[in-house]
Amino acid sequence: MEAGKFPAFPYKPYTIQIDFMNALYHSLNEGGVSMLESPTGLSLSLSLSLSRIFWTGKTLSIICSALQWVVDRRQQQNSGKGGKPDKNQANDGQHGSDDEPDWMRDFVVNKDNHVEEKKIKMKKFGKPDKRRNQESCRDLFSRVEGGGDLVTKKEREILQKNNDAVELTDEEFLLEDYESEEEGACGKSKRKAGGGSLSSPSDEEEEEDQSDEEEDKEKLKVYFCSRTHSQLSQFVKELRKTVFSNEMKIVCLGSRKNFCINEEVLKLGNSSRINERCLELQKNKKKKVSKIKNLGGGGRIRRTKASSGCPMLRKPKLQRQFRSEISQQGALDIEDLVHLGVNMGTCPYYASRGMVPAADLVVLPYQSLLSKSSRESLGLTLKNNIVIIDEAHNLADSLISMYDSKITVSQLENVHSHTVRYFERFRNLLGPGNRRYIQTLMVLTRAFLQILLEDASYVEVPQDSEKAFGANDASNSSMAINDFLFSLNIDNINLVKLLQYIKESNIMYKVSGYGDKMASLQKCTVHTSTGECSEEGSTLSGFRALSDMLLSLTNNDGDGRIIVSRSRPRCSRQQGGYIKFVMLSGEKIFSEIVDQAHAVVLAGGTLQPIEETRERLFPWLPPNELHFFSCSHIVPPESILPVAVSCGPSGQSFDFTYGSRSSSIMIQELGLLLCNLATVVPEGIVLFFSSFEYEGQVYDGWKASGLLERIMKKKRVFREPRKSTDVESVLKEYKETIDTLSLGNSKEHPASQSGAILFAVVGGKISEGINLSDGMGRCVVMVGLPYPSPSDIELIERVKHIEGLGNSNSIETPKFPVTGEVYSGDVKAGFEILRGCRHRGKEYYENLCMKAVNQSIGRAIRHVNDYAAILLVDTRYASDPSNRSFSHTTKLPQWIKDRLISSTDSYGEVHRLLHQFFKFNKNRESH
């Protein structure tokens, strides 16, 4: 296919827009991995609306190019010129996920070819299996073989007392018998069919829909993902400007928290609790007989129809109507889908998921596409399809962070106490399989707790682990996966089989359900010594955290690190300890996406240095096979004034290094700078600080010295709130203040005020996804270099891993100080490790800083007629590249770097440049 015109583009495109669309189109033709860099405010088109100039950019270019390619590809296939994409069979079992309502799973009849995958037999509860358990499991659970008593005397006394206090009818909590047939059946499961019931569609219409879904699996799809829900909503708004909005089937996916319309569930507030409650409601299903179907030969089979426990999912017919309504209304964003769901009284979250097979374009957040478990849960088929990842500047770190897992002391105590209580109550009714696996769970939770608490009431752990983790009251320790397992003496447990048991046996719901019922009947909340009603939530969430941690321990030894934090509680209800798995390598994760998809496109404003991304995500790909395209910036030179400011109005040099930034002298000099800027910069000024803590320190210092009062005489001051939900209201008030004062008719503000100042934080909401165009950002001030804290042990582990990339020679492998292994979280230890880096690790650390700078300062220039000054306040920005091996300004975007004034004699020169710049652009704007 040849790249050509893009008739769907709603405006007359600029030349660079056409270049961008052609580059994307060519990349899709070629397949493989592509990186398309489009500087902020670059691909811009003019639209006159509400008497204002409104600009659209990169998003429209992506939409019109990618979807035009899909249209052309289908026409080519229909004419017989193109090969038909292979059927994707990667997710054959996707409809069996426990993340769907039963009626959705029942919608697809189980296929015969699934039978060969099922090896573990499960029977009705109440009667332990009398057959001898297979010997093949002995090596997997040698520590618990023989059904030994793993409940301590103290635990038994407490449990007996609890059991004596309440008489329960507990059959509903008894597990079905579980046994492993053969050693080779690891990870394969089978639930024994009960009676003659068969879950199936309840009418012919559902059966027809099923066949349609099978056909839709072959349809060529585009998956577009971005970081936030607001960015996805913006994408849909841009999509509506094109003909594709009505010509293609489009669905927008999101989190339960954003989609849920069940008020009882929404009241939980926390995302994890909403997810947990939603899944729990799906388990609390009610089945009713729908009809009895006659079979050939006089036989009959009873069909059942499952009803969800959530009132918003009890009518499948409404879900079908919802999907029909979506297909008729064109592109809808999350807010539109929620509004429609509320009006119809049916769940928009599951309804939108049901639209995926038929969709041409799926718009979804990072997590849903990049996480394998989320893809399988949603039934996303990547094979031979297109994946476009926007805002990909930090893709490698975003990707690996999705595979982190963490379990706290509180959660471990909760899970352990509930499991012990459950085991003591049902031990004589459980079969040998269940007993063995439950005892194994207790072994693991006790070992984890022993490491975190060194509590004698838990099973003793070998002395070697004491040396590995250290015996300090408060310390962070880092270990490889295998070292961690060996230290706890749990390396002989087959975690894959144990995870399969957790998934198949329903033990999480049985144990937590039994504990909840006991607590309810006793008319009190059961508390463990760590406070069961803690922030981590219920027993169910603790079980999920444990399951995630066990899954993490099945990774390859070099894929990540185990961090153990043994911080001591400061009060009886506080527990600071935790075990965390930090994923370090994204290569294996990303390769699964690349191997399946026809093409993967990484798009963003600043993607360089691309070599770092290639090494971390697809090192197997030769540099000459990576398609890279970068546009120039359309903003004219006179619209931007980047200046490196090395000293303040009183002549004091700006040094915002970690050891100097908190000095009163530095804070006062920065305040004097802002006082001067407030007099020369019209409308809005945005100050970016390295952290909320430092912003608070500076604000308090200015308030105490009287500088804040001087600043506020010229401009009103706003501060970025810590809660992201409050950012929108602050920005709205900030903008309204600027607009009102610029008109000069404000009665609420002093006549001397000429605008507003916004204090923002690098890495916060404002620095990432907010447009500070026109008067909202006439001047952006970057205070210092926002290096991440070297006290962050996870960051230092990533630095060490990246430093070692490509070093196959053991002589070249960097040797780091011992402080990296028993790491107390202090800055000094982190700096020692950074000093030990020769190249890659140091480069990565510097890139993190400058990517954050570039994201922040790029908030200001948003369209071709916009203009802004950018002040980089620190002597390090003014450094001469020839005097150092590294200059921070070399990592600025090209369109800023080309126009940077890297040195000035004094602040007076900076003030003069600002005065001339704003005078020129004000005159240009008036004409």
**Dihedral sign, Cα of residue 469, residue 472, residue 473, residue 478:** negative
Task: Indicate whether 81 belongs to any domain.
Answer: no
Indicate if 574 and 505 belong to the same structural domain: yes
Q: Do 629 and 644 lie in a common domain? A: no
What tokens appear for 97 in the block?
């996920």
924 vs 908: CA distance, rounded Å: 25
Contacts of 172 (CB under 8 A, 6+ apart): 513
CA of residue 643 relative to chain centroid, distance? 35
CATH of the domain at 709: 3.40.50.300
The sign of the CA dihedral 93, 96, 97, 100 is positive
Distance in angstroms (rounded) separating the CA atoms of residues 149 and 488: 20
Q: Which two tokens stand for residue 253?
A: 């996916």
pLDDT for 356: 93
Largest Cα–Cα separation, the chain: 99
**Rg of the Cα trace of the chain?**
30
Sign of CA dihedral 488, 492, 497, 498: negative
Same domain, 666 and 690: yes
What gap in Å lies between CA 776 and CA 741, rounded to an integer? 12
Does one domain contain both 681 and 562? Answer: no
- pLDDT for position 829: 78
Does residue 779 form part of some domain?
A: yes
Element holding 869 (H helix, E strand): strand 868-873
All residues at 6 or more sequence positions from 158 whose CB lies less than 8 Å from its CB, including other chains: none
In a domain, 515, yes or no: yes
User: How many whole angstroms separate alpha carbon 434 and alpha carbon 879?
Assistant: 67
CA torsion through residues 244, 248, 249, 254, sign: negative
Q: Closest Cα to residue 236, out of 72, 81, 352, 397? A: 352
Instruction: In whole angstroms, give the CA distance from residue 811 to residue 878.
Output: 37
H or E, element range at 288: strand 286-294
How far, in Å, CA of 818 to CA of 812, rounded?
Answer: 18
Question: In this structure, how many other beta carbons lie within 10 angstroms of the beta carbon of residue 184?
Answer: 8
The pLDDT of residue 195: 35
Order of all β-strands in the sheet with 250-252: 250-252, 361-365, 222-226, 386-389, 599-604, 32-37, 627-630
Determine phi and psi for 253, rounding to 5 degrees: -105, 155
The answer to whether 898 and 904 have CB atoms below 8 angstroms apart is no
Which residues have CB under 8 Å from 682's CB, separation 6+? 742, 754, 755, 775, 778, 918, 922
Q: How far is CA 107 from CA 200, 207, 324, 738, in A?
A: 6, 8, 17, 55
CA separation, residue 769 to residues 330, 521, 690 (Å): 26, 49, 17
- Domain shared by 659 and 782, yes or no: yes
**Residues 58 and 40 grouped into a single domain:** yes
Cis peptide preceding 609, ω within 30 of 0: yes
| H or E segment and range at residue 178 | strand 178-179
Residue 116 in domain? no
Position 105 in a domain: no
| Judgement on whether residues 494 and 630 belong to the same structural domain of the protein | no
Total number of residues shown for the chain: 927
Q: How far apart are CA 732 and CA 758, in angstroms?
A: 12
CB distance 282 to 102 below 8 Å? yes
Q: Which residue has the tokens 């609306």?
A: 49
- The domain containing residue 70 runs over which residues? 1-44+51-76+620-634
**pLDDT tens by residue, 114-123:** 434 444 434 3
Question: Could you give the number of structural domains in the chain?
Answer: 3
> Residue 845: which residues within 8 A CB-CB, separation 6 or more?
787, 788, 799, 834, 837
- Same-domain status, 665 and 762: yes
> CA 834 to CA 528: how far, in whole Å?
42
Q: Measured between alpha carbons, how far is 67 from 224 in angstroms, rounded to an integer?
A: 11
Bridge partners of 480, per DSSP, are: 561
Does residue 235 lie in a domain region? no
Residue 372 makes CB contacts below 8 A (sequence gap 6+) with 589, 592
Residues 578, 664, single domain; the answer is no
Say yes or no: 626 and 671 in one domain: no
The span from the CA of 599 to the CA of 383, in Å, is: 10
Tell me whether strands 476-480 and 868-873 are parallel, antiparallel or unpaired: unpaired
Q: In the prediction, which pLDDT does 309 show?
A: 79
- DSSP string for residues in 483-499: HHHHHTT-TTS-HHHHH
User: Are the CB atoms for 352 and 333 separated by under 8 Å?
Assistant: no
pLDDT of residue 244: 94
pLDDT of residue 96: 44
Strand extents, DSSP E, 574-707: 578-583, 599-604, 627-630, 640-645, 683-689
Name the token pair of 696. Answer: 């608070």
Alpha-carbon separation of residue 302 from 48, 111, 287, 308, 782 (angstroms): 63, 18, 12, 20, 70
Question: pTM of the predicted model, to two decimals?
Answer: 0.78
Is the same domain home to 774 and 858? yes
Contact 8, 243 (CB under 8 A): yes
What are 814's two structure tokens? 């960097």
Q: Give Cβ neighbours of residue 266 (< 8 Å, ≥ 6 apart).
A: 257, 260, 274
Please calculate the CA angle 82-87-93 and round it to the nearest 5 degrees.
165
Spatial separation of the C-alpha atoms in residues 583 and 400, rounded to whole Å: 5
Locate 383 and state its tokens: 């094979």
Q: Which string of DSSP letters, residue by residue, matches 371-435? A: -HHHHHHHT---TT-EEEE-SGGGHHHHHHHTT-EEEEHHHHHHHHHHHHHHHHHHTTTS-HHHH
Phi, psi of 528 (to 5 degrees): -95, 175
Residue 271 lies in a domain: no
Q: Give dist(CA 290, CA 263) in Å, integer.
A: 30
Q: CA angle at residue 490 from 485 to 493, to 5 degrees?
A: 115
Same structural domain, 436 and 556: yes
Residue 146 lies in a domain: no
d(CA 907, CA 270): 48
How far apart CA 514 and CA 511 sit, in angstroms, is 5
Phi and psi of 783, rounded to 5°?
Answer: -85, 105
Residues 6 or more apart whose Cβ sits within 8 Å of residue 625? 32, 33
φ, ψ for residue 760 (rounded to 5)? Answer: -125, 170
Give me the residues of the chain with pLDDT under 50, please: 41-56, 82-96, 103-104, 106-148, 164-168, 181-208, 287-293, 295-298, 301-304, 456, 459-473, 524-536, 572-574, 810-813, 818-822, 881, 883-885
